[in-house]
Amino acid sequence: MRNEGYGMRPNTRFCPSSFILRHSRRRGVIAFAALVMLSVLVVVTLAASEEMALEARAAQNRNAVRQAYLCAYTGIDYCLYLSRLAPNWRSALGAGGWLFNYPVGGGMVAVSADDPGDGLITGNPLDIVRLTVQATCGRAKRTLTILTQPPPGEALRYALCSLSNKDFWLGEGICVYGDIRTTGKVKADSGVSLAGNIYTLPGQTVQSTLLDGDTQVIRTELPVEAPPVDFAWYQGAAQSLILPNDGPNYAMTNARLTPDDNPFGFADPEGLYCVDAGGSEVRITDSYVVGTLVIVNATKVKIAGGYYHTTHLKQYPALLCDGAIEIRISRNLEEAPIAVDFNDDGDTADRFVSQIRGVIYSSKKITGFQTDDDPGPFYISGAVIADELDIWGRSFHVSYDTDLAETAVAGFQGEGLVLVGGSMED
């Protein structure tokens, strides 16, 4: 009888070869799975390694871009420093390259300069200068285009600025609205009104009647430098005036002088006019001026009667003289008595309060300002700058134009350049 015990199928025999085959197949599957997993791990590892390399290169590139950016601004700062080293930087540095492959940290900088207006850096002392900066660090490059311009000079911060150490005189009746700057003593008559501070050198006395709760005396060791007024440039830029003779002197009487109207020659659209006195005196009486009046080689400039003068462009002064200025205002400026239409409105019935609006400068002394018992009011709005000042007046008012603290005037600019705008390119 055949054994048909529990768990054994009839006619089934154990086969070693089939058993081995089945186990080989299992080992093959496991090996293949292990190989696949190993391949996946290798791919993941390579991808992670590549990602890390990319991240490292990206970090290096970001650092290089940032370094190039900082190098560019360092180049700008250095060029601004160069422009402050010498008062003649426009001609000394000129147009073209200011820096060539200048090393900054791990980068290099090159800077070139030009005038985007008329192309002449050595022209107008207030012209904008464009700095083009190229900085490289590794493969990173930065290009900056920066606009710069001279700042206002120190002398333009004050209503009255005396540059010498001679006594500074304020006469009876004058009212000053703004700060005073001098290197000498400050003296005043009674009846003087000051709404502002007084700056002077240590040890120089100040009249006690000028001091009240609103006025401080500020001592400073540094005197104000004389403005860098280039009279030769003004002579070249301005329209020449040929004034008639009054004996040995030159005279401008009952005249209207504007950018559109010049009775002594060709009109200048910028209102720049120059008189070369050739060693004589220039007398201006009962006249109306819109623009800038430059007077050179004069023993004295004397302004008398009624006078109305305002600048045409704020980048230029009102009155500029390399000699002394004496102002003797005795009345308002009226059209009717002399039958002159000063403001070109078609009649001669207007009356103008005597005034000067803008910067007044003398490289010597300014004195004045009012005469007669009832001269009417006389106003100056701007800044009065001279080597020496001696002024008075019964109804004379000097007020500071605050715009001068922000906007330079040609010939009264500060040292070097400051930023006024710009752009960046990758």
pTM score, whole prediction:
0.82
233's enclosing H/E stretch is helix 231-237
Residue 11, pLDDT score? 54
DSSP 291: S
What per-residue confidence (pLDDT) applies to 44?
62
- What the chain holds in terms of domains, given with CATH numbers, is 20-151+414-426 (3.30.1300.30), 155-405 (no CATH)
pLDDT of residue 59: 47
Alpha helices in 86-112 (DSSP H): 89-93
pLDDT score at 27: 67
Report the run of H or E that residue 36 belongs to, with start and end.
Answer: helix 16-85
CA distance 203 to 175: 25
- The residue ranges of the chain whose pLDDT is under 50 are 1-3, 5-8, 54-56, 58-59, 426
Task: Quote the pLDDT of residue 1.
Answer: 46
**Which pLDDT score is estimated for 141?**
86
| Rounded Cα–Cα distance for residues 393 and 316 (Å) | 27
Round to whole Å and give the CA distance between 269 and 237.
12
Per-residue pLDDT of 349-402, as tens digits, reads 999 999 999 999 999 999 987 666 666 789 999 999 999 999 887 778 999 999
Q: Considering only CA atoms, which of 298, 206, 288, 215 is closest in space to residue 252? A: 288
Distance of alpha carbon 158 from alpha carbon 182, whole angstroms: 10
pLDDT of residue 155: 95
What was the pLDDT predicted at 421?
75
What is the dihedral sign for C-alpha 288, 291, 292, 295? Answer: negative
- Asked if 293 and 317 touch (Cβ cutoff 8 Å), the reply is no
Q: Rounded to an integer, what distance in angstroms lies between the CA atom of residue 336 and that of residue 338?
A: 6
